[in-house]
Amino acid sequence: MARRMGTRGAEMALRRTWSERLRGVREVLKEVWSQTMGKLGIILVVALVVISVYAITTMPPDFVDKWTYNMKYWEGNPELAEPAWVSVFGAPTAPHVAKVYDSPTASGISILNFTLPGTGTTILRAGYVQNYTLTYELKEPQFPKGLLIKYLVINPGNVSGRALHVTPYVFVTRPDGITVLVNRPQTVTVKALAERGVERYDANILADQFVSIFSEQNLTRERAQGMAIKLLFGRMVNGAVEPLQGTYKITVVLLYSAPGVRMQTLMEQIEQNRLGVQELEIIVQGSAYGYMGTDDKGRDLYLGLLYGFPVALLIGFFAAVSSVIIGLIAGVVSGYYGGWVDELIQRTVDVIGNIPLLPILVLIGVALQAMDVSPWYRLFVIIGVLVVLGWGGLAIIVRSMTLSIKAEPYIDAARGDRRLQREDNIPSYYTTDSAICYGNAGVLGAKRHLDRGRSQCARHTARPTNMG
């Protein structure tokens, strides 16, 4: 019975302890919320937590590797693009368009007959042809940044035991009716095309054509190579290139062949066995992209910023908690024991206080980047530096509060009683942490705790002692 009552009493005491702690937390939050800056702080913290949770749940788990090492993942994005919302403020933008095709616009046995403008070179070939067509509207005086074709799904296979070959052609029909060849056609096996993965515009091919198209403008081949994409989406007026607004028709032609195989057999086996390119994407890289634009490698800055929220919250949380714990312990020990211990801690704080934090972080960041170490290793090194150099100011404040608490009469009354020190003195020390973390609200909470400590100590010291 006595054991059961003792257990029940311990449970009730533990329940009261947690109830008192929760009550104290509610009082502190209430005091913080009563101030304007406190409201802003709580709203900011909640917003950071919500955004961080969203980033963690939506971002791919290998995002760091893609951002750091896999530049091919971003090749469809324009480089150094502005945010898409700049158009709201009147800035001209070329739209970014990316369209995926899981089937050709047209297909069949056909003869490809095309003469490059001004060069006299004629392309004349027959085979099984698949056409993919994209219509692009340029409504504002701004140049797109590029043109890219990505082969997403390819089934290599063979036709009647022969390797299947394909020759990609990319044509652009401009608003002025001129059609130009954009890429350098090469006949390769379908397997080789799958390994290549993309089709890009060729500046040399475009330069050869536009030198003839704009012959009256005295356009040199070297200059045409340097501004090939502008010439593709522009016109020359008095030696200067201006955007040519209107409707552009981009056509990707895939011409299939297999040596020694009849055309009809080739077409039937490609269509029945779904050989060759099954899915591709035509991308016109605009001058504006996403919510935050892109960097010089085409990486979406919005995704980088979004991923940075949980990282920043992690750094802030661990650095703040660790610095508070170290500063609290160092300040209490320094103020309570005094003497050489106080001198040692205070001189250490003086040294730390004179070390410039920002230049140190910049130098360490550059050094870690040169070492090519893991991003997580860099993260925890930075957290460690913030903790090592961040606890000094808090230790000074806690020391001064400890000296004030140490001078209270009830501290002298409790010096010989470890139970009183545990129940009354130590809580008075850790309430200084609340004062530092929560500002004025923490000071009010510390004052309440100290008042309660004085009253409890008065009751303990008033009890009769056994002298004999």
Q: What is the DSSP string of 40-69?
A: HHHHHHHHHHHHHHHHHHHS-TTHHHHHHT
pLDDT at 11: 58
Torsion angle, CA of 200/204/205/211, rounded to 10 degrees? 140
pLDDT beyond 50 at 106: yes
- Which two three-digit tokens encode residue 218? 């005295």
What is the average pLDDT across 213-237? Answer: 91
Please tell me the class of the 19-54+302-461 domain: mainly alpha
pLDDT at 416: 55
What is residue 449's three-state secondary structure? helix
pLDDT beyond 60 at 118: yes
What is the average pLDDT across 455-462? Answer: 47
- Whether the CB-CB separation of 391 and 328 falls below 8 Å is answered with no
What is the average pLDDT across 54-58? Answer: 91
Helix or strand run (H / E) with residue 220: none
- Which two three-digit tokens encode residue 215? 């012959």
What is the average pLDDT across 37-58? Answer: 90
405 vs 449: CA distance, rounded Å: 12
- Whether the CB-CB separation of 273 and 128 falls below 8 Å is answered with no
Radius of gyration of the chain (CA): 36
The full 3-state SS of 135-196, as one line of letters, equals: EEEECCCCCCCEEEEEEEEEECCEECCEECEEEEEEEEECCCCCEEECCCCCCEEHHHHHHH
- Which two three-digit tokens encode residue 4? 């059961």
pLDDT beyond 90 at 80: yes
- Which two three-digit tokens encode residue 59? 């971002």
304 vs 342: CA distance, rounded Å: 45
pLDDT, tens digit (0-9, with 9 covering 90-100), for 255-309 = 999 888 888 888 888 888 888 999 999 999 999 999 999 999 999 999 999 998 9
Q: From the CB of residue 346, how many other CB atoms can be counted at a distance below 10 Å?
A: 16
Can you state the angle between helices 301-337 and 375-388, rounded to 10 degrees?
Answer: 30
pLDDT beyond 50 at 172: yes
What is the average pLDDT across 160-168? Answer: 89
Q: Which residues pair with 364 in a beta bridge?
A: none
- Whether the CB-CB separation of 287 and 138 falls below 8 Å is answered with no
pLDDT > 70: percent of the chain: 83
- Which two three-digit tokens encode residue 142? 């701004």
* 423 or 127: which leads in pLDDT: 127
For residue 96, name the pLDDT band (cuts at 50, 70, 90): very high
257-to-75, 91, 108, 269, 314 alpha-carbon distances in Å? 29, 47, 12, 12, 57
Beta strand pairing call for 122-138 and 158-159:
unpaired
For residue 12, name the pLDDT band (cuts at 50, 70, 90): low
pLDDT, tens digit (0-9, with 9 covering 90-100), for 315-329 = 888 998 899 899 999
pLDDT at 7: 59
pLDDT at 126: 87
Can you state the angle between helices 426-438 and 2-33, rounded to 10 degrees?
Answer: 30
pLDDT at 448: 45
Q: From the CB of residue 35, how many other CB atoms can be counted at a distance below 10 Å?
A: 13
Residue 410: phi and psi, rounded to 5, are: -70, -15
Domain map (residue ranges) of the chain: 19-54+302-461, 76-292
- Which two three-digit tokens encode residue 277? 């390119």
Highest mean pLDDT among 67-76, 114-123, 174-183: 174-183
pLDDT averaged over every residue in the chain: 83
pLDDT, tens digit (0-9, with 9 covering 90-100), for 175-187 = 999 999 999 999 9
For 82, which DSSP code? Answer: B
48 vs 34: CA distance, rounded Å: 21
431 vs 161: CA distance, rounded Å: 82
Listed residue (341, 412, 307) closest to 52, CA to CA: 307
190 vs 177: CA distance, rounded Å: 32
Query: Interior CA angle at 301 toward 299 and 303, to 5°?
Result: 90
131 vs 107: CA distance, rounded Å: 6
What is the average pLDDT across 330-354? Answer: 89
213 vs 327: CA distance, rounded Å: 74
pLDDT beyond 90 at 402: no
pLDDT beyond 70 at 425: no
pLDDT beyond 50 at 9: yes
